[in-house]
Structure 1
């Protein structure tokens, strides 16, 4: 992915509430919003910043 692009991640594991944001920040990406739960799915929006 290129700088400025946004990745949508859809997960269904409750642990992803913690692990996805931690990994995104750890690898230098920006979490754009708080995780959003829709039914059993959890949506994350992650922006490439470097």
Structure 2
């Protein structure tokens, strides 16, 4: 992925509310918006900043 692109991650594990944002930041990415929940699916939008 290139700088500025946004990756949509879809998860269904409740623990991902914590782990996905932590890992994204740990690896130098940025969480664009707060996680969104739709039924059992949790949506994350992660932006490449480096």
TM-score, normalization: structure 2?
0.99
- The gaps in structure 2 that reach 5 residues or longer are none
RMSD between aligned residues: 0.3
Number of residue equivalences? 50
Runs of 4+ in 1 over 6 A off after TM superposition: none
- Flag structure 1 segments of 5+ consecutive residues without an equivalent: none
Corresponding position: 1:45 with 2:7: no
Structure 1 residue 11: Cα displacement: 0.1
Deviations 1:1-50 (A, max 9, x none): 11000000000000000000000000000000110000000000000000
